[in-house]
Amino acid sequence: MASNCATSALSCCPDQEYVQDKVCIPWTGTVTADDDAPVPIVVYVNNMGLNLYATGYLQYASGPANVTLQPIDSGGNNIGAPIAVSPGTTTSFTFRRFAQLQVILPESDAGANDGTYSGELCVTVRYPLA
């Protein structure tokens, strides 16, 4: 199968330069008896446009119940299925074309999930130079 950029069998598409940045962000949130719906915490916002690639991990240090990690598009819609994370564990991810990353805390559930949740998000983003 030939690439539409190739002029011969041994050439490829032109190189594209990318910028790569890594950031680690602590996050925390609280669920109270008044929270009758899941509590979203925005942990990262893409302010560079949609052509963004990101890899990283979500560390969930402590809390009374599982949380989920959810990428959100520029229209406010979920991208794919959320990733569930248990207290004391870490999950890795690769996302692209997202507007923000959210950690979703569970609803109160008659007090069973009430308490403080905390952890850290580390993300390495890559985006092409214009």
pLDDT at res. 3: 46
Residue 64 phi, psi (nearest 5): -85, -10
E strands in the chain: 18-31, 39-45, 53-62, 67-72, 83-85, 89-96, 100-105, 115-128
Task: Copy the structure tokens of residue 118.
Answer: 């905390």
- Is 56 among the domain residues? yes
pLDDT tens per residue, range 98-124: 999 999 999 999 999 999 999 999 999
pLDDT of residue 48: 77
Distance CA 83, CA 92 (A): 9
Domain presence at residue 119: yes
Q: How many domains does the chain have?
A: 1
pLDDT value for 89: 98
What's the confidence (pLDDT) of residue 11? Answer: 59
**Mean pLDDT within 4-25:** 67
Asked if the structure places residue 37 within a domain, the reply is: yes
Q: Judge whether 22 lies within some domain.
A: no
Residue 106 sits in a domain whose CATH number is: 2.60.120
- Domain containing 37 equals 29-128
Residues 6+ apart with CB under 8 A from 118: 26, 27, 28, 29, 61, 62, 63
